[in-house]
Amino acid sequence: MPFNIIRADITKVRADVVVKAENNGGETGSAKFTKGRRNTIHTVCPIWNGGKNGEEDLLYSCYKNSFELAAENKCKSIAFPLISSGAGCPKETDLAVAQKAISDFLKSSESELFVMLVVLDKGAAKLNVDLADKIQRYIAENYSEERPEYDNMHTGKPFDFHGSNPHSFAPGINMGKLKERLKNQDISFSQKLMKMIDERGLTDSEVYKAANFSKQVFSKIRSDKNYHPKKSTALAFAVALKLTLAETDELLECAGYTLTRSDKTDIIVSYFIESGNYNIFEINTVLFDYNLPLLGSV
């Protein structure tokens, strides 16, 4: 039951049910399911009045009650707008509440519900100012547009963001190392992943939910020892397992990848890892803000 954030007109998004925000018509925070050619959940959002009158809790209830109705009606997919965007709520608060409500539901529910957060344009969703500034500084300090010639002798060690060597990085996929590993393979990505899960005493559901994957996708990875992931898939599991940068590179190497200074996705994910923040929903929101592909089954 992965989560995706997309830029689109919600009236044109295909989903089993679409959530529509209203400012009246019932108790604030409540939700009502109506069936039709286009199933709709009507939820009554709070009018923002300074934020000291329980508005955030009521907004959270809009999401929570909408999720419960979608699950009760056996929906497979649901599309949310930023519910309080037209009711005076600050954009960064609106996004933060949506993020928390969606994250809480997906982590706690056994429902296989695909969740989409739909924003009409880039300005509709706004990151926390402090987080946005920190990430912007981190990228400025670490990003390099240079792509050095591939070195077959690359060691595969994690790059040092703060080291003095400006070339202590490698391309996103280490083709020479991948060919060598495929020829003399001792442990595949899937085997390494399962080993790391077992070492940490985690359950399958804890891992695939934290990685933003469905149960079906994870089952495919578990059953196929030769499964070769996309780099974003490997990064998603590194986040789910709460790996260090060194451990992340160790997992990536099993699929022939490595972290790089020339990839903004790598740098953003590395920022979160170094900060000890492994919330994949927050990471994906930042990636979305930078127009980068999200992590997980999206």
Q: What pLDDT is stored for residue 143 in this prediction?
A: 87
Q: Are residues 144 and 203 in the same domain?
A: yes
Domain closes at, from 94, 124, 154:
124
How much of the chain, in percent, has pLDDT values that exceed 70?
Answer: 84
52-56, 81-85, 237-241, range with greatest mean pLDDT = 237-241
Domain closes at, from 124, 149, 168:
124
Rounded (5°) CA angle 273-290-77 = 85
Q: What pLDDT is stored for residue 57 in this prediction?
A: 94
Q: Are residues 152 and 213 in the same domain?
A: yes
Checking if the pLDDT of 149 tops 70, the result is no
Where residue 269 falls among pLDDT bands split at 50, 70, 90? Answer: very high
Token representation of residue 201: 């005493």
Checking if the pLDDT of 11 tops 50, the result is yes
Q: What is the DSSP letter of 138?
A: H
Query: Rounded CA gap, 34 and 31, in Å?
Result: 10
Residue 125 · residue 285 · CB < 8 Å: yes
Checking if the pLDDT of 236 tops 90, the result is yes
Q: What pLDDT is stored for residue 138 in this prediction?
A: 93
Of 99, 171, 119, nearest in space to 7 by CA: 119
Q: What pLDDT is stored for residue 65 in this prediction?
A: 96
Checking if the pLDDT of 3 tops 80, the result is yes
In a domain, 294, yes or no: no
Residue 45 · residue 81 · CB < 8 Å: no
> Which structural domain range is residue 80 located in?
3-124
Interval 132-160 mean pLDDT: 65
Q: What pLDDT is stored for residue 165 in this prediction?
A: 37
Q: Are residues 161 and 190 in the same domain?
A: yes
Interval 218-228 mean pLDDT: 94
CB atoms near residue 59 (< 10 Å): 28
Checking if the pLDDT of 172 tops 70, the result is no
Query: Rounded CA gap, 44 and 33, in Å?
Result: 12
> Domain tally for the chain?
2
